[in-house]
Amino acid sequence: MCGCYARNVAQDRSKTGKNKIIPRSITKTAHSNGSITYNLLAITDMDEEGREAKDKYNWRAVTRKGTLTISKDKKTVTVEWLKGSDQNVTSGLNYKGRAMELSDLSEYNGHLLSPDDKTGMLYEIEDGKAIPWVFLNSGPGNTTKGMKAEWLTVKDGLLYVGGHGTEYRNKTGAVVSEDSMWIKTITKTGEVESKNWKGIYTNMRNKAGYREPGYLTHEAVQWSEIRKKWYFLPRKASTTIYNETEDETKGAHILIEADPKLTEFKVIYVKNPKGSRKDHPERGFSAFDFIPNTDDKLIVAIKSKEVTGSSPESYITVFNVDGQVLLPDQMLDENLKFEGIYFV
């Protein structure tokens, strides 16, 4: 299904050529000591809390601005959030009273995009507005339900959109849906193609040691054009069948590196400064981006915590592609569940 940008698409073609997209734009400030500061943007998925109290026909997500500063030797990283920068992004589109559960951020062809994992709508985020672009069906694309989109990345001029990448099971353990094992590719004109990644996701989790009925769930995936590799930061990792209560403490601490064809997988353990990789199993990765000008060797990531009976929490951390942590988990204020982070 094609979307908006009719006028802009024509301009894009004349500027970039048939098979090219507008390059990504990132703001940076260089300092006299050699350090560099980059602008960050985070966005929320507030689940059922997204409905606005003053307007029952409106739903919201929240964006928050921040900065990341990296030292000249690239060994020290600090992150600061701009107080008072929180801004509502609203929409009236909903599915059964749920909406604006935005799960990632990505710039594609000059537009900042974010997927709603409840409605299946892919939005452009601009000036506090959520502008619908493309609707994504669940699974192979012939379904009536919206896609539960969790991650975005750009490869070869296409926007890739994916979900959890595992089967959904009922309370008895029977598989009821494999829709989340399909991904979408989208062209700059909004043409959508559904692709079955069941074999890829299955091979990946087997390599990582989580064979069925165990599972990996994915919310943080990026293609590195510089390194010519895929990177996956699973949200959850379990060697046992899904159990809703137990899943709350199945937070993954692994980074999976894959070749361009997604046939070879390398598992890297993300360790805290003391060397442990088992701290805080209630926290799992929900988004990440490569820090600019580091040859895609350094990653800034968001972790989410969702435990029954307590408020959601979000954390930011920085580590390299070998799993060594430069910035241990740092909590974001206000108990909002952020699930997208991006350099802008």
49 annotated as ligand-binding: no
Q: Report whether 180 belongs to an annotated binding site.
A: no
Distances (CA, A) of 296 to 73, 79, 118, 163: 15, 18, 31, 23
| Rg of the chain on CA atoms, in Å | 19
- What is the torsional sign of CA 292, 84, 124, 118? positive
Closest CA to 167 of 158, 176, 157, 159: 176
Dihedrals phi, psi of 147, to nearest 5 degrees: -70, 135
Any known ligand binding at 138? no
Question: Do residues 163 and 132 make contact, with C-beta atoms less than 8 angstroms apart?
Answer: no
Check whether 191 is labelled as a binding-site residue. no
Q: Output the six-digit token pair for 236.
A: 């959850």
Please classify residue 114 by burial: count the beta carbons closer than 10 Å to its beta carbon, then call 0-12 exposed, 13-18 middle and 19+ buried.
buried
Annotated binding residue at 334? Answer: no
Q: Is 212 annotated as a binding residue?
A: no
The annotation places the binding site at: 103-104, 150, 219, 286, 339
* Binding-site sequence positions for Ca(2+): 103-104, 150, 219, 286, 339
